[in-house]
Copies of this chain bind each other. A is one copy, B any other.
Amino acid sequence: MAQLYFRAGLHERPAQFDHYFRRYPDYGMHAAGYCVVAGLEWLLDWMRAARFREEDLAYLRAQRTRAGAQLFADDFLDYLRHHGHFEAISLSAIPEGRVVHPGVPLSVVRGPLAMAQILETALLNQLNYQTLIATKAARIREVSRASMVLEFGLRRGQDRGANAGTRAALIGGADFTSNVGLSSTMGLPPKGTHAHSLVQAYLALGQSELDAFRAFAEVYPDDCILLVDTVDTLESGVPNAIRVFEELRAKGHKPVGIRLDSGDLAYLAIQAALMLDRAGFADTVIVLSSDLDELVIWQIQTQIAAEAGRYGADADAIIHRLVYGVGTRLVTSHGEGALGGVYKLVAIHDGTDWRPAIKIADSPAKMTTPGLKQTWRLYDRRGLATADMICLDEEDPRRMEQIVLRHPVEPSMFRVLEPTALSGMEPLLVEVLREGHLVYDLPSLEAMRERRRADVERLDAGVRRIVNPHIYHVSLSQRLWDLKQELRRRLESGD
């Protein structure tokens, strides 16, 4: 396509592409009520470094047409050599960590048509996946309440891509990760526990689980978390852990806790908690792992709440001491392994003016929303987000006397808000790159997390539900709606 644009003289035409997703992830029986956007910083790192190297150009030059001729001509390859970078690209985006919704442009790219087109795959690859995982992590955060969440997914992610998943999980809701390299990149300490193989090694050498635990406590007296399910959790693992904890206590150390990785985690957590309590270790944590996700965690909490009383245990205290180690199902977004984010041409410059572009697909829901736009988030009198309104770039809803929110597809559906019904409104897109130059302060991990916490706090409780959430309103302004209808009429009538 880039060579075609080059040949047709269109390659330097300014164009705009919007990146957005059309629907929330649906994990099978339950769809998300909101997403958390992530991936921008790593995309920017890539864009600023990406170049066509001589070896890339040599590979392209070697490509042949079916008739045996050179597929990419030398003048085009020369264009790529000198202009095949993103230094002419401008980019606006919704900052990482923010809550986002379907149909709203998450990033908007403007620049020469050829290079803006070449950017498509890399942008989608990086933003779709991190947004998918930040969203899953936010759901796990939601059910985990105040408990610590540890990301454990590196062994089950997609090769090096798992690092991007870990980063997104940390933005979206995980506190720490066992991924050491990524922890280093993000400036966090890594957090994990030992594996079954430690106990197995000691057993194979004729020693015992207790010997293995003692060896661990010897090396890590102040960071002692013991995995108790290698032999038998309640008959062997927990009693041995308690014995080692008592030895640590006698030497003035404070044991941290145990990990359960198999079996009925709710039942075992109750029983282990009772045993630890009786031994005077009520302040230790119980780390759970083994194919956890937001529904499994919710189910464990529900079972503990229902069952703890029958064993004379305090359900709230048990739930409060849980730590969740979440691996496979977080890094792969179990139930929905991809975010369907798309990158659509929405405007192109004809030399005089910007011309909106539109695609009429089979379903109105897939029709792109044309032109240059800004999205405003409207907050109701409670301070909660009530709608995202996509407007024309030049519109400012703060100056509207009445705010008309049009459903993006259904002509008969709209809402009218008086400005007095709102406590505030803010634009979501910020300028990030201006012709290749970074004009944006990249936020720290803590700032992205704070943004996510603040945005989630300002969602209605119904939208925050992890199952069957209320549908958040994403609307078009009246003027944008009118433009979309007019373009459609024009295209259908062949004008």
CB interface residues, A 329-376, toward B, < 8 Å: 331-334, 337-341, 343-345, 347-348, 350, 355-362, 366
In-complex Cβ contact of A198 among B4, B126, B160, B200 (8 A):
B4
Closest 8 CB pairs of A and B: A161-B161, A158-B161, A159-B164, A158-B158, A332-B337, A124-B155, A204-B357, A159-B161
Copies of the protein in its oligomer:
2
Verify B71–A223 contact, CB threshold 8 A.
yes
In-complex Cβ contact of A345 among B159, B163, B184, B201 (8 A):
B201
Verify A357–B203 contact, CB threshold 8 A.
yes
Instruction: Tell me which residues across on chain B come within 8 A of A13, comparing CB atoms.
Output: 201
Give the distance in Å from the alpha carbon of A362 to the alpha carbon of B231 in the complex. Answer: 9
Q: Say whether A479 faces chain B, with CB atoms less than 8 Å apart.
A: no
If A1-B197, A67-B222, A158-B161 are given as contacts, then 7 extra A-B residue pairs at C-beta distance below 8 Å, sorted by A number, are: A67-B253, A125-B157, A155-B341, A156-B338, A158-B162, A158-B164, A161-B162
Give the distance in Å from the alpha carbon of A66 to the alpha carbon of B255 in the complex. Answer: 10
CB interface residues, A 203-225, toward B, < 8 Å: 203-206, 215-216, 218-223
Interface string of A241-280 (1 = CB under 8 A from B): 0000000000001101000001100000000000000000
Verify B362–A230 contact, CB threshold 8 A.
no
Q: Say whether A10 faces chain B, with CB atoms less than 8 Å apart.
A: yes
Q: Say whether A420 faces chain B, with CB atoms less than 8 Å apart.
A: no
Q: Known contacts A125-B154, A158-B165, A160-B160; decide if A59 and B184 are in contact (CB<8 Å).
A: yes
Verify A157–B154 contact, CB threshold 8 A.
no
Instruction: Tell me which residues across on chain B come within 8 A of A356, comparing CB atoms.
Output: 204
Verify B200–A4 contact, CB threshold 8 A.
no
Q: Which residue of B lies closest to A332 (CB)?
A: B337
Query: Could you jot down 13 A-B contacts, CB within 8 Å?
Result: A17-B197, A65-B220, A66-B222, A67-B222, A125-B155, A125-B159, A129-B158, A158-B158, A203-B357, A204-B347, A204-B357, A206-B355, A262-B366
Verify A219–B3 contact, CB threshold 8 A.
yes
Q: Which residue of B lies closest to A360 (CB)?
A: B231
Instruction: Tell me which residues across on chain B come within 8 A of A158, comparing CB atoms.
Output: 129, 157-159, 161-162, 164-165, 331
Verify A195–B1 contact, CB threshold 8 A.
yes
Give the distance in Å from the alpha carbon of A160 to the alpha carbon of B42 in the complex. Answer: 11
Verify B157–A15 contact, CB threshold 8 A.
no
Binding-face segment, A113-121, A305-313, A463-471: A113-121
Q: Say whether A7 faces chain B, with CB atoms less than 8 Å apart.
A: yes
Q: Say whether A413 faces chain B, with CB atoms less than 8 Å apart.
A: no
Q: Say whether A443 faces chain B, with CB atoms less than 8 Å apart.
A: no
In-complex Cβ contact of A161 among B7, B160, B355 (8 A):
B160
Q: Say whether A328 faces chain B, with CB atoms less than 8 Å apart.
A: yes
Q: Say whether A128 faces chain B, with CB atoms less than 8 Å apart.
A: yes
Verify B350–A195 contact, CB threshold 8 A.
no
Verify B348–A189 contact, CB threshold 8 A.
no
Q: Say whether A56 faces chain B, with CB atoms less than 8 Å apart.
A: yes
Give the distance in Å from the alpha carbon of A491 to the alpha carbon of B208 in the complex. Answer: 10
- What size tier do the contact residues of chain A reach? 35 or more
Nearest-CB distance from A187 to chain B (Å)? 10
Interface string of A47-64 (1 = CB under 8 A from B): 000000000100110011
Verify A124–B156 contact, CB threshold 8 A.
yes
Verify A128–B113 contact, CB threshold 8 A.
no
Most buried by B among A69, A189, A219, A337: A337
Verify B337–A333 contact, CB threshold 8 A.
yes
Q: Known contacts A120-B155, A155-B120; decide if A348 and B201 are in contact (CB<8 Å).
A: yes
Instruction: Tell me which residues across on chain B come within 8 A of A231, comparing CB atoms.
Output: 360, 491
Q: Say whether A196 faces chain B, with CB atoms less than 8 Å apart.
A: yes
CB interface residues, A 14-70, toward B, < 8 Å: 15, 17, 42, 56, 59-60, 63-67, 69
Instruction: Tell me which residues across on chain B come within 8 A of A56, comparing CB atoms.
Output: 181, 184
Q: Say whether A229 faces chain B, with CB atoms less than 8 Å apart.
A: yes
Nearest-CB distance from A355 to chain B (Å)? 4
Instruction: Tell me which residues across on chain B come within 8 A of A220, comparing CB atoms.
Output: 4, 65, 71
Q: Known contacts A200-B359, A345-B200; decide if A156 and B128 are in contact (CB<8 Å).
A: yes
Q: Which residue of B lies closest to A167 (CB)?
A: B159
Instruction: Tell me which residues across on chain B come within 8 A of A358, comparing CB atoms.
Output: 200, 203-204
Q: Say whether A107 faces chain B, with CB atoms less than 8 Å apart.
A: no
Instruction: Tell me which residues across on chain B come within 8 A of A126, comparing CB atoms.
Output: 159
Q: Say whether A416 faces chain B, with CB atoms less than 8 Å apart.
A: no
Instruction: Tell me which residues across on chain B come within 8 A of A489, comparing CB atoms.
Output: none
Interface string of A141-163 (1 = CB under 8 A from B): 00000000000001111111111
Q: Say whether A130 faces chain B, with CB atoms less than 8 Å apart.
A: yes
